[in-house]
Amino acid sequence: MLDEKALDIVKETAPVLKEHSHEIGMRFYKLLFSKAPELYHMFNQTNQKRGGQQEALAYAVYAAGENINHLDAIRPLVMRISEKHRALGVKPDQYQVVGETLLQAVKDVLGDAADDEVTDAWRAAYKYIADVFINIEKELYDKTEHAPGGWLGFREFIVDKKVPETDAVASFYLKPKDGKPIASFKAGQYLTLKAAIKGEKYTHMRHYSLSDAPGKDYYRITVKREDAHGEAPAGIVSQYLHKKVKEGDILEFAAPAGDFTIVNNDLPIVLISGGIGLTPVISMLEMLVEKLPERSVTFIHATANSSTHVMKERVEQLAANRDNVRSYVCYEKPAEEDIAAGSFDKEGYIDLEMAQINFAKQQSRFLHTILLMFIIKE
Ligand SMILES: Cc1cc2nc3c(=O)[nH]c(=O)nc-3n(C[C@H](O)[C@H](O)[C@H](O)COP(=O)(O)OP(=O)(O)OC[C@H]3O[C@@H](n4cnc5c(N)ncnc54)[C@H](O)[C@@H]3O)c2cc1C
Ligand code: HEM
């Protein structure tokens, strides 16, 4: 642990660093990629171009600094990051170059305000925080490797089936090339794809939620094709998956990861999703119906209209003849045939009124115990 003086400095300066985390983050990545260009393969280069992600790492270090003597308070954040690091293959020795570069970026951005006392205190704080991550990630690597069917790093999978769901969304059924068992997963977890695409300078890592129930001899992911829009170019990996990858092709994935999973109890659950954000919650719904058929589930989904509505029939099938499973659909721009068929419950967006009506249909004594799963993606 840090000495008293260093602790005081870290806690005092953390808010200032948080305030500058965007600038520090920008400088940090510039320095990092010049020192360790191999990291271009690991970090999402589109996130780098779009901005927004640059400050995430620096911000998390400063948030940890603020909580340094009670890191348990931010354990959920630490676990989420560590799960992602494990999926991406972050190694203990990489913490050093990241730490040194972050300190350099702080000095470059803050100038004289980051004197020796401040940088020494943060060097010690970073080491302490990095060790927490390294230890958690070591446990995650061990667990992943030793789980039945588990593996370290990336494993080859054959695209066994590629099934269109809508015009812009397709499901990929993946079987391991080595024919051996695959690790089970918790509904809500994701696979990480390492895509080496012909003509691309770097490999691209992308995460895809597992969209079927656990316990099968395949994994399924369901991917939306990101087309060019306005100034934004088309998405690199989703275009590749949709346009180039065909049945029989090989793709490389890291073992299931992620902490966005269902709390194991028998309380009613409300799953809310928008667009392709349906993927983890459809996995949860499949799992609940299969493994916990008594649990009360409300499935609320919003999308543009029936032409973009992924797995509509499957959700209807799961809700049919089950009093404890309810499905509500919200269409932003219903088509004429949707209106004629009455195939949705509300026009527009999910709002509090809709949510309240649906919650009120559940027994009121449960109202305060509802678990909300919010995943809204563009
Ligand atoms: C935990 C997790 C689970 C996920 N699960 C799923 C899932 O189940 N299904 C799914 O389809 N996706 C899922 N995603 C998203 C997925 O990982 C990818 O981000 C998605 O497929 C887009 O990747 P891409 O390479 O096609 O697009 P990218 O090339 O990464 O581009 C992303 C977006 O940025 C825009 N863009 C690109 N360059 C610029 C620029 N210079 N300026 C402005 N905009 C730009 C693109 O038009 C595109 O819309 C998940 C993400 C996470 C983190
Ligand atoms: C204590 C040190 C670290 C902290 C606090 C930290 C924090 C974070 C955070 C907050 C994210 C975003 C998570 C998310 O999107 O859900 C992230 C992502 C990531 N981290 Fe770390 N990180 C640390 C060290 C490292 C190291 C040593 C590496 C390896 C070089 C690394 C590589 C990555 C990568 C590749 C991503 C994904 C980012 C992207 O592709 O855009 N991190 N980290």
CA of 160 to the centre of ligand 1 (A): 23
pLDDT for 23 equals: 94
- Say whether domain 269-376 belongs to CATH 3.40.50.80: yes
**95 among known catalytic residues:** yes
Nearest CA to ligand 1 atom 43: 232
**Rounded Cα–Cα distance for residues 25 and 21 (Å):** 6
* Substitution candidate for ligand 2 out of 84, 126, 128, 204 with most atoms within 8 A of CB: 84
Which ligand 1 atom is nearest residue 47's CA? Answer: 30
Sheet containing 219-224: order of strands: 204-209, 190-195, 250-257, 154-164, 169-176, 219-224
pLDDT for 117 equals: 94
**Rounded Cα–Cα distance for residues 210 and 98 (Å):** 31
Domain 154-257 classification at class level: mainly beta
| Sequential pLDDT tens for the chain (378 residues) | 789 999 999 999 999 999 999 999 999 999 999 999 999 999 999 998 887 778 899 889 998 999 998 888 888 999 999 999 999 999 999 999 999 999 999 999 999 889 999 999 999 999 999 999 999 999 999 999 999 999 999 999 999 999 999 999 999 999 999 999 999 999 999 999 999 999 999 999 999 999 999 999 999 999 999 999 999 999 999 999 999 999 999 999 999 999 999 988 888 999 999 999 999 999 999 999 999 999 999 999 999 999 999 999 999 999 998 999 999 999 999 999 999 999 999 999 988 777 666 665 554 434 333 344 444 343
Break the chain into its structural domains and give their ranges: 4-146, 154-257, 269-376
The percent of the chain in helix, strand and coil, each rounded to the nearest 5, is 50, 20, 30
Establish whether residue 95 lines the binding site of ligand 2, counting it when its CB lies within 6 angstroms of any ligand atom.
yes
Which ligand 2 atom is nearest residue 36's CA? Answer: 30
**Rounded Cα–Cα distance for residues 208 and 308 (Å):** 18
CA 232 to mean position of chain CA atoms: 22
β-bridge mates for residue 250, sequence order = 158
pLDDT for 356 equals: 65
pLDDT for 73 equals: 87
**4 among known catalytic residues:** no
Nearest CA to ligand 1 atom 46: 235
Other beta carbons within 10 Å of 80: 15
Domain 4-146 classification at class level: mainly alpha
CA of 22 to the centre of ligand 2 (A): 15
Which ligand 1 atom is nearest residue 234's CA? Answer: 47
**Nearest ligand, measured from the Cα of 94:** 2
Q: How many helices (H) and strands (E) does the chain have?
A: 12, 11
Establish whether residue 43 lines the binding site of ligand 2, counting it when its CB lies within 6 angstroms of any ligand atom.
yes
Task: Find the catalytic residue in 137, 165, 226, 286.
Answer: 137
Task: Find the catalytic residue in 62, 95, 141, 240.
Answer: 95
* Substitution candidate for ligand 1 out of 46, 220, 253 with most atoms within 8 A of CB: 46
Which ligand 1 atom is nearest residue 206's CA? Answer: 17
Residues 2-37 as b/e (b if ≥16 CB within 10 A, e otherwise) read beeebbebbbebbeebbebbbbbbbbbbebbbeeee
**Rounded Cα–Cα distance for residues 8 and 146 (Å):** 41
Domains 4-146 and 154-257 fall in the same CATH topology: no
User: Where would I find the beta strands (DSSP E) of 234-356?
Assistant: 250-257, 269-274, 297-303, 325-331, 346-347
**Rounded Cα–Cα distance for residues 311 and 45 (Å):** 31
